Amino acid sequence: MTKELDRREEISKDRLFRFERMLEIRSFEDRVQDLFAEGLVHGTTHTCQGQEAVAVGIASALRPTDTVTCTYRGHGVALALGLTPESLLGEIMGRQIGSVGGVGGSMHLALPSIGLLPTFAIVGAGIPVAAGAALRHQVMKTDDVALAVFGDGSTNIGAFHEGLNLASIWNLPVVFVCENNQYGEYSRIEKTTPIENICERAVSYGMPGKKFDGQDVDDVVAAVSDAVEVARSGNGPTLLELETYRYAGHSRADTAPYRPEGEFDEWYERDPINTFCERLKDEGVLSESKESEIRKIVDQRIETAVETVKNSPAPEVKSMFNNIYA
């Protein structure tokens, strides 16, 4: 079994591994911001601190043969699905060790063996592609499902409406997961979206639409598992809205000065990692010493990945012609 599949199996079985993976995502993203500031990440990058429960919850509810599309804010989903920190950071820093050889960058991650279809820089673009992947699962008569992760802003894009309509008409095995992190770029949701509950948009397409707390990993696992089961058993698509919050700005060095005062603190009180940590302790699943041990292991893992990637060469120029078909 590959390392990626082992990492995948861990979180599908064990809540302690879910805690560890959420910490890994947080630590990884914090480090990516530092590396960006140091000039070691070219172009742009979008981090997902605060949204870890969504990423880990989704991955825990799926099988590696299911397929996932997601956005440019996809580092967390990629790590949750099993991509190693080395191959993810290698992509972000444009090094040969990256999952697609360092030519994709932060926004174009992919690894078919864990079901990660390319992540998309174009808002909403992954939605019809997930419907297409679901059509493949349906035609091939596997009981695999496709899942699209996209932002709240994406639900104002034509591709969202076309994708959901087609999925419903063809009864495709697909789950649409909207990460409602309250912002599209620099605009709060009420400035761009005329309804309060995005999940209500499902009504137009004759599919169930439900809203859940995206800061509670146990809730996310349960909600996504239910929708996946519906799709797997031939009962068609579902739209899930998971309410969450991005701690960082939209991208690059955005410090989010447009956020109302106190908003970040309110969300941080319900931090998905801290809340889950407390719950695991209340249940007697996690001790203080185990917690610090896990934190140490994770931080060390990320530091090792940073060193490994720094020592990996950049792709050769001619590699831009690899994987081009005429």
Ligand X SMILES: Cc1ncc(C[n+]2csc(CCOP(=O)(O)OP(=O)(O)O)c2C)c(N)n1
Residue 152 beta carbon to Mg ion: minimum distance, rounded to whole angstroms:
4
Are 48 and 25 in contact by the 8 Å Cβ rule? The answer is yes
Are 168 and 202 in contact by the 8 Å Cβ rule? The answer is no
- Both tokens of residue 22? 């959420």
Is 205 one of the binding residues for ligand X (CB under 6 A)?
no
* Closest by Cα among 107, 105, 104, 132 to 121: 107
Which one of Mg ion, ligand X, none interacts with residue 31, CB within 5 to 8 A by kind? none
> 257 CB contacts (<8 Å, ≥6 apart)?
none
Binding ligand X (rule: CB under 6 A), the pick from 118, 128, 132, 151 is 151
Binding ligand X (rule: CB under 6 A), the pick from 69, 84, 106, 181 is 181
Is 160 one of the binding residues for ligand X (CB under 6 A)?
no
Touching Mg ion, residues 192-231 (CB under 5 A)? none
Which one of Mg ion, ligand X, none interacts with residue 216, CB within 5 to 8 A by kind? none
- At 296, which amino acid appears? K
In 3-state terms, the chain is what percent helix, strand and coil (to 5)? 50, 10, 40
Which of 126, 315 has the CB closer to ligand X? 126
Which of 181, 215 has the CB closer to ligand X? 181
Is 152 one of the binding residues for Mg ion (CB under 5 A)?
yes
* Closest by Cα among 138, 131, 137, 120 to 165: 131
Are 188 and 105 in contact by the 8 Å Cβ rule? The answer is no
Residues counted in the chain: 326
Residue 58 beta carbon to Mg ion: minimum distance, rounded to whole angstroms:
16
Is 201 one of the binding residues for ligand X (CB under 6 A)?
no
23 backbone dihedrals φ, ψ, rounded to 5°: -65, -40
Which of 70, 221 has the CB closer to ligand X? 70
The site for ligand X, by CB under 6 A, has a size of 14
Q: Which stretch binds ligand X (CB under 6 A): 109-117, 148-156, 300-308, 317-325?
A: 148-156
For binding to ligand X (CB under 6 A), which residues are involved? Answer: 71, 73, 121-123, 151-154, 181, 183-185, 250
For binding to Mg ion (CB under 5 A), which residues are involved? Answer: 151-152, 181, 184
